[in-house]
Homo-oligomer: A and B are copies of this chain.
Amino acid sequence: MTVSNDAFGGVALWRRIADAIRLDIVGGKLASGDRLPSEAVLAQRFSANRHTVRRALAVLAEEGVVGAEQGRGTFVRRARRLSYPIGRRTRFREGLSGQAEHLTSQSLGHRIENATATIAAALALKPGAKVVRTEGLSLADGRPVSRSTTWLPYRLFPDFGERLAQLASMTQVFGSYGIADYSRASTRISARHADVEETRLLSLAPGAILLVSEAVDVDAEGGPLSYALSRFPAERMELVV
């Protein structure tokens, strides 16, 4: 919970304070049900005006992270951050089971397109080769935790999109093509701010941070099956290698 007073390039103070408090909550320093320090104390700690602190708390309340009760204080509502395990055998559903009650995945559509240089290289195809592109959104207990775009060779999976819309799990769709097992060949992790569409789809406060993972899955013989670009809200998810 440390934030400076001086000019802090383009990020409003109320937002930095909200980020700092949220970090303490999802990072485990504050547990569910804990009372936050009073607005006056927080204002002093962050060297800010009480109104500015109130605005930060209003944002966190909007997100459902904290809740204020007049006369009593402000309390932590939701604390835990989900851990998504990444390894040779990486499965979305298995990885998060036990951390959330309900895991759901939605298909946001699919189309056929030509591979860019990056995608072709990842899938060991010629640039311009036909690929299937699918868009998806995953939710844990109703909260969006991942927005992913996946490209697959059209030659291997011509109707992947249609099948995914019905089966709703990558593993099952691969299975329907006779692929019993697959594994993770490489994962590339970066971070950036969410853009407008991601902010909307993931129900994030504007300007939120995303963990971005680029992953290639291969079959038992090492042949590339899919190239996936997944965006996780950093405030709700962490990646464990």
Partner of A206, one of B8, B14, B81, B241: B8
Known contacts A9-B205, A11-B207: does B2 contact A187 (CB below 8 Å)? no
Known contacts A4-B196, A10-B14: does B188 contact A209 (CB below 8 Å)? no
A9 to B83, CA, bound (A): 27
When all copies of this chain in the complex are counted, the total is 2
Known contacts A186-B241, A188-B239: does B16 contact A59 (CB below 8 Å)? no
Partner of A11, one of B11, B83, B187: B11
**Most B Cβ at <10 Å: residue of A9, A239, A240:** A9
Question: What total of chain A residues lie within 8 Å of the partner, measured CB to CB?
Answer: 42
A interface majority secondary structure: mixed
Known contacts A240-B187, A241-B186, A241-B187: does B9 contact A192 (CB below 8 Å)? no
**Most B Cβ at <10 Å: residue of A15, A18, A190, A240:** A190
